[in-house]
Amino acid sequence: MSQSQRYVVLPAFGFSGPVLSQSAALSKVGPTVSLAKSPRARTPRADTSLRVLHSTHENGPKLVEMTPRAELNLRLDTPGLKIVPVVEYRKLYVQYRILDKVSIKGAASGGVALSVVSKADGTPITEARVVAFTNFDRREGAEGVSNRRGEVVLKLKSGQAIERLYVYAPAGFWGFFATGFAAKNGGTIKLAPVDLSSAETLLPSFIKRIPLDAGAGVRVAIVDSGIAAKHPALPGVQGANLVFDEIQNNPGATTEWGPASNEGEHGTHVAGIVGAKPVGSSSVRGVAPGVELRSYRVFPNSGGGATNYDIMNAIDRAVLDGCHIINLSLGGGAEDEAVRAAIGNALDKGVLVVAAAGNDGRRAVSFPAALPSCVSVSAMGRRGTFPKESTESSDIAKPFGDPDKDAFIAAFSNVGPQIDVTGPGVGVVSTLPENAYGVMSGTSMACPAVTGFAAYVLGANKDIMAAKKSERVKRLKEALYRNCRTFGFGRDFEGFGMPTPASQVMEKKRNAKNRATRRG
C-alpha cells in the first residue's frame, strides 16, 4: 500500500463493541480490502486499501494499516468508530543527552581522553556514559562510553569550557556530576560504589515500618521494558511480550517478556522498587515484597519507544490476567485516545492505574498521568541519601520541605494540578538485569514506589479487596490518599503528599513534638 500508516481503531465510546466485528472491512485479520471511494473525492484514483494487522478480541480494538484516504473512507463506511494514529511513548527515567555535537577543528589529538575508575580501589569502570555539555540549554557538547580500560574520548578541544558534566554509571556505582571547568586531557573521574547494606539511601526511609509480606495476595502489572526472570530478588515473575512487531510473524515470541535487548534495564529496576525481596547481604527490597509481579513488555528489543497499541494491549492483558494494580512508568506526547480507553476499561474492571508524571523539568504533567482516572506521581528526593558529587546532586531544587529542609521536589519532575501524590524518585537503588543492583532517578522510580504502597494498602484491607469493579478503585484511592503526609511543597508539587504508614506518621509527629518541647 502506498503511503500507508498505522492506526488503532476503537468504538467511538468505550474500549470494545460490536461495531468492530460487524464492519466488513475490519472483520478479518490479514487480507487487504479496498474501501468504496467517496463519490465526491477529488482524487478518485487514491489508494483506499486497508489491512487489519492485529485484533485484541473479536469486538476489541484493531491495529490497522491504511492510507490517509482509506482512513477517511472508513469513517464513512463504518460510522461509530474512533480512529487513532499510532504514536510512541518513552520511559520516564532521567538521562540527559547531547543533541548537537561540538566542532573539534583545530584539536591536535582529536579529543580529550578521560578515565573512569572506582573511588574505592581505582579499578577501571566500563560502560559508564560520559556526557559533557558545552551549552546545556541547547544540549550541545560531546559524549562517549568508557571502554574496558575505563577510558573515554570526548570530541572536544583541550581547555574547552564544560558547563555541565554528567557520568551515568553502570550497575553497582553512583554517577558523577560537576559544573564549570575546562576540558583537560588525562583527567580521572571517580565513581562511588553503591553500598547495598546502607539504610541511608532514599527508598529505605520510605518503606520503614512496612512488613516484608506487604502486598500478599496482590498481583501487580509492570508495563515496561521487561523484567529479569532469574534475578534472585524477583522470583516467580510471569508475563507476556506485547510488542506487535516482534510477535507478528513469531507467535512464540510472546513468551519473551524479559528485558529488551537494548535499553532493557528500566523494567527490572521498576519491578524491584515495587516488590524485590532482600537477598543475602543485600538489604535492598521493594515496598511490597509480598506481591505477585507480572511483566508485560512493550518496549522493543531494537530500543526506542513503545507504541500506544502495544501499551493498550498490555493494559488489556493485565486486566484479563487478574492484576489488581498496573504501573505505567512511561509517558510523553499528546493525549492518546487508545491508551485512555484501555485505562478507562481497567478502571471499570476494578484495576488501579498508577502513572509517572514525566521528567520535563516542571512542565505540565504528561499523558497518561494527566488523566483523572490515574494516580499521578511526582518525584521527590532528600539531601544526604546520595553522594554529594553524584548526578543526583543536579536534581536538587526548590521547593524544599517544611520542616524537613533536606527534602525537595526533583528539578526534572513535572508538576501541576493533576498531581495526586509524590514518591521517592531521586537516586533510587533497585534491581537490574544480570542479578545486579544500581541507581536510577525519575518519576519512573517514584511511580512504582507508590504502586508498591497501594499494593501494601490493598493487601492489608480485605474490605477494599472485596469491593467490586470501579468501587474497589475508588476505595483504594481514598485509602492511599488518607495515608499520605505532606512535606509542605505545595499542592501542585505533591498533591496529597507522600504515602506513609500510619505508625510512621505518628512517630514523626511525636519526634517533632519532642523537638519543639526541648527547644521550649
Number of H helices, E strands in the chain: 12, 28
Torsion from C-alpha of 223, 228, 230, 234, nearest 10 degrees: -50
Tell the residue number behind the cell numbers 512496612, with chain if given: 210
Strand pairing class (375-382; 352-356): parallel
3-state secondary structure of 353: strand
List the end-to-end C-alpha distance of the chain, in Å, as a whole number: 80
Tell the residue number behind the cell numbers 493487601, with chain if given: 459
Tell me how far apart the alpha carbons of residues 433 and 417 are, in angstroms, rounded to a whole number: 36
Phi-psi domain of 30 (left: phi exceeds 0; alpha: psi -120 through 50; beta: other)? left
Active site residue 444: yes
Cell of 423: 514518591
Query: How many angstroms separate the Cα of 424 from the Cα of each of 163, 286, 339, 343, 452?
Result: 28, 12, 26, 24, 12
Contact 392, 212 (CB under 8 A): no
- Long-range contacts, stretch 168-171, CB < 8 angstroms, 24+ apart: 168/95, 168/128, 168/129, 168/131, 168/391, 169/125, 169/128, 169/438, 169/439, 170/125, 170/126, 170/127, 170/128, 170/438, 171/432, 171/434, 171/436, 171/437, 171/438
Query: How many angstroms separate the Cα of 71 from the Cα of each of 20, 76, 85, 323?
Result: 15, 9, 10, 35
Q: Which of 77, 224, 336, 395 is catalytic?
A: 224
Q: Which of 54, 231, 266, 269 is catalytic?
A: 266
Tell me how far apart the alpha carbons of residues 84 and 308 are, in angstroms, rounded to a whole number: 9
Cell of 397: 531544587
DSSP state of 365: P
**Selection from 11, 6, 14 nearest residue 342 by Cα:** 14
Cell of 176: 558523577
Extended beta strands in 203-321, E state:
219-224, 238-241, 292-297, 306-307
Residues 6 or more apart whose Cβ sits within 8 Å of residue 153: 110, 111, 112, 113, 114, 144
Tell me how far apart the alpha carbons of residues 118 and 430 are, in angstroms, rounded to a whole number: 20
Q: Where in the sequence numbering do the catalytic residues fall? A: 224, 266, 444
